[in-house]
Amino acid sequence: MATAVKLPERGATGALTLSTLAFGGAFAVWTIFSIIGVKIKKDLGLTDAEFGLLAGTPILTGSLTRVGLGVLADRFGGRLVNLVVLLAAAASTFALSYAHGYPQMLLAALGLGLAGGSFAAGVAYVSKFFPKERQGAALGVYGAGNVGAAITNFGAPFVMQAMGWQAVARIWAVGLVVLALLFFLGAEDEPTLAARRAAKAKSPPMLAQFAPLKRLQVWRFSLYYFFNFGAFVALALWLPRYLVGVYHLDIKTAGMLAAAFSLPAAGFRIFGGWLSDRIGARRVMYAAFIVAVAATFLLSYPATSYIVDGIKGPIAFRIAMPLPVFVGVLVSLAFFMSLGMAAVFKHIPVYYPNDIGAVGGVVGMVGGLGGFVLPIAFGVMNDVTHVWTSCFMLLFGLVAAALTWMHFAVRMMERARTPELARLPELPEMAGMQPAAPEPAPAAKPANSQPIAAE
């Protein structure tokens, strides 16, 4: 008998479309310092570490608020929570245009960061409209809102050079208000919230919503997202500065090349969600991490000049990654990081269908903290090592650790579910090489015993 195919709830298409548009605007605001921060750094004479702190401060706010906003979305509905959060972020972005000193800009950046916190509310909202067989693809589409980083990297340089960085903040703020209102007025409440209101049922207890966070598995998912999403955000913020410093590009060209990293990742995340639905999130995670290890290893190698004592005298040569090769490797890295982002969030509705807000919030929080910590770490490493590629060295160590933990966790789960695996030789070709265990001596039979039939 064929299994009935579950269809999305009524209003699912509109909810997903408008949520994605709103999240795209939020992400554009969230990463605004990737462009205007370069100008502010020059105007205020900031160090790389101070620039990293300014660029990462919105990421900090957006990260720390995700758990709370995810829980609030489960209790009061994603539509209302998202509206309030996006309007507050827009107000702070507009206020940024009137800041003059570094402390004022940091304060505005804290409020601006609420835009990133809206992600957790959106995940809790969108997932309620779709059956689990389609949640991977749906959340992949929603996560494609990170295309907002490409919009900022591509469009903000032109606006900044024409009208100043203050104009970028004001235009982005107005755009976010428009998208927030469009989402609130055009989308419907999630089905679970509507059903709870119709039944006049109470929301689940607050403490019960946080209970799954005691599981180590949630924090393992968080580490995966720390790299896949946190490093993605960090690179989106850092790349314009990196390209200007390493390849001596102007800010417009650097912004467009940084957009080449951010823009394709949106479509890649949609594909990653679809692929996770088809072949499983675990396989997608393995592919994402293995390619990321290889890519960050290549990007870590600094430009190096060599002098070899040749037969006829010194032979000098230089090894450095040309700009086209750098962009190609970087886009490949973005592709697999996006697959990894989608795969992480494919796990959450499957393992924790009743606690999507809390679990998705903490995973998103840790991932977002990567976007805050890593730009600062990049700046500090530049100041300490004076090696531009030190940022990729850090990412190589991070993804290698995540891949190792995932692999051993998967092996432990497989052995727990299938104890027979523990009795197999480590390598198939070693079968038969182990000494056979001696057979126990047969027990003596009672005189009146009868044969026992095999079960």
> What would the DSSP string read from start to end of 90-101?
HHHHHHHTT--S
Whole-number pLDDT of residue 451: 42
Instruction: Give yes or no for a contact between 363 and 221, defined as CB atoms under 8 angstroms apart.
Output: yes
| DSSP 8-state secondary structure symbol assigned to residue 330 | H
d(Cα 55, Cα 203) in Å, to the nearest integer? 37
Identify the architecture of domain 12-194+219-418 in CATH: Up-down Bundle (1.20)
What angle separates helix 48-64 from helix 66-76, to the nearest 10 degrees?
A: 20
Mapping DSSP to helix (H, G, I), strand (E, B) and coil, where does residue 366 land? helix
Place of tokens 């870590």: 300
111-122 pLDDT tens trace: 999 998 888 888
Whole-number pLDDT of residue 450: 44
- For residue 245, give both structure tokens: 């410093």
User: By CB neighbour count within 10 A (0-12 exposed, 13-18 middle, 19+ buried), where does 314 fall?
Assistant: exposed
Place of tokens 């009137």: 98
d(Cα 304, Cα 318) in Å, to the nearest integer? 6
Q: Closest by alpha carbon to 73, among 151, 126, 9, 16?
A: 126
d(Cα 317, Cα 336) in Å, to the nearest integer? 33
Cα–Cα distance list, 390 to 42, 94, 280, 384, 385 (Å): 22, 35, 34, 10, 7
Question: pTM (2 decimals)?
Answer: 0.67
Whole-number pLDDT of residue 1: 44
Whole-number pLDDT of residue 37: 87
- For residue 336, give both structure tokens: 């697999």
Q: Which residues of the chain have pLDDT under 70?
A: 1-8, 194, 197-198, 200-212, 264-267, 354, 357, 418-455
d(Cα 8, Cα 12) in Å, to the nearest integer? 6
Radius of gyration of the chain (CA): 26
Strand partners, 305: 318
d(Cα 68, Cα 89) in Å, to the nearest integer? 16
d(Cα 113, Cα 56) in Å, to the nearest integer? 9
Instruction: Give yes or no for a contact between 5 and 127, defined as CB atoms under 8 angstroms apart.
Output: no
Across 176-226, where does the E strand assignment appear?
Answer: none
Q: How many residues does the chain have?
A: 455
Instruction: Give yes or no for a contact between 223 and 405, defined as CB atoms under 8 angstroms apart.
Output: yes
Whole-number pLDDT of residue 310: 83
Whole-number pLDDT of residue 111: 92
Positive or negative: CA dihedral 331, 332, 337, 342: positive
Mapping DSSP to helix (H, G, I), strand (E, B) and coil, where does residue 444 land? coil
Q: Closest by alpha carbon to 155, among 131, 135, 172?
A: 172
Whole-number pLDDT of residue 182: 94
Alpha carbon of residue 157 to chain centroid: 25
| C-alpha dihedral (153, 126, 173, 239), degrees to nearest 10 | -20
d(Cα 269, Cα 291) in Å, to the nearest integer? 16
Q: Closest by alpha carbon to 141, among 15, 294, 328?
A: 15
Whole-number pLDDT of residue 437: 53
**323 CB neighbour count, 10 Å cutoff:** 14
Place of tokens 């531009």: 388
**115 CB neighbour count, 10 Å cutoff:** 32
Q: Closest by alpha carbon to 363, among 169, 218, 198?
A: 218
d(Cα 99, Cα 107) in Å, to the nearest integer? 9
Instruction: Give yes or no for a contact between 296 and 399, defined as CB atoms under 8 angstroms apart.
Output: yes
| DSSP 8-state secondary structure symbol assigned to residue 10 | T
- Per DSSP, helices labelled H in 77-147 are 78-96, 102-112, 114-127, 132-143
